[in-house]
């Protein structure tokens, strides 16, 4: 788990477990770090909660905007300690909104020219989001992305 606030634990699936050899601090001996990808290729016009992969690749969106909805406290807390890169393919028909409004203290994206709690990623754009704590989400890199 990435945070004591997270509730989206994934248990070991049935079958053969495979173990990564690590040193005493938990760092892989071979230096490998797996990267995971999830995709969304629907028509849009819906709310979507990412499952915690490293990358979210979005295509389609012919009907409407896709909203990555992290307004629920637990959905946001499940992302704390994670970094996700959202990439909207140039062929996508609409934007992707990343909404982090809410929380016990108003959440906001940080380290951008125009901080806010909703980020808009246009087709062909991307944003790497680092969820630091219950209030701060850093945009550590982006293209064709604005916040409001």
Largest CA distance in the chain: 50
For the whole model, what pTM was predicted? Answer: 0.82
Give pLDDT tens digits for 97-118: 999 999 888 999 987 666 789 9
Model pLDDT, residue 101: 95
Model pLDDT, residue 2: 66
Q: Report, as an integer, the average pLDDT of 76-85.
A: 95
Residues 119 and 55: their CA atoms lie apart, in Å, by 16
Residues 132 and 67: their CA atoms lie apart, in Å, by 21
Listed in sequence order, the DSSP H helices in 1-146 are 73-77
**Alpha carbon 37 to its chain's center:** 11
Residues 131 and 51: their CA atoms lie apart, in Å, by 14
Residues 73 and 134: their CA atoms lie apart, in Å, by 8
φ/ψ of residue 74, rounded to 5: -70, -35
Give pLDDT tens digits for 29-56: 887 777 899 999 999 999 999 998 999 9
């Amino acid at each position: 788990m990435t945070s004591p606030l997270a509730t989206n634990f994934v248990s070991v699936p049935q079958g053969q477990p495979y173990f990564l050899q690590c040193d005493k601090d938990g760092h892989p001996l071979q230096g490998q770090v797996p990267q995971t990808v999830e995709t969304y290729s629907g028509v849009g016009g819906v709310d979507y909660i990412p499952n915690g992969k490293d990358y979210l690749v979005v295509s389609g969106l012919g009907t409407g905007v896709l909203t990555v909805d992290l307004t629920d406290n637990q959905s946001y807390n499940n992302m704390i300690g994670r970094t996700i890169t959202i990439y909207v393919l140039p062929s996508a028909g609409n934007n992707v909104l990343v909404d982090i409004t809410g929380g016990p203290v108003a959440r906001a994206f940080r380290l951008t020219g125009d901080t806010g709690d909703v980020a808009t990623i246009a087709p062909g754009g991307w944003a790497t989001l680092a969820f630091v704590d219950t209030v701060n989400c850093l945009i550590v890199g982006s293209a064709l992305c604005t916040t409001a």
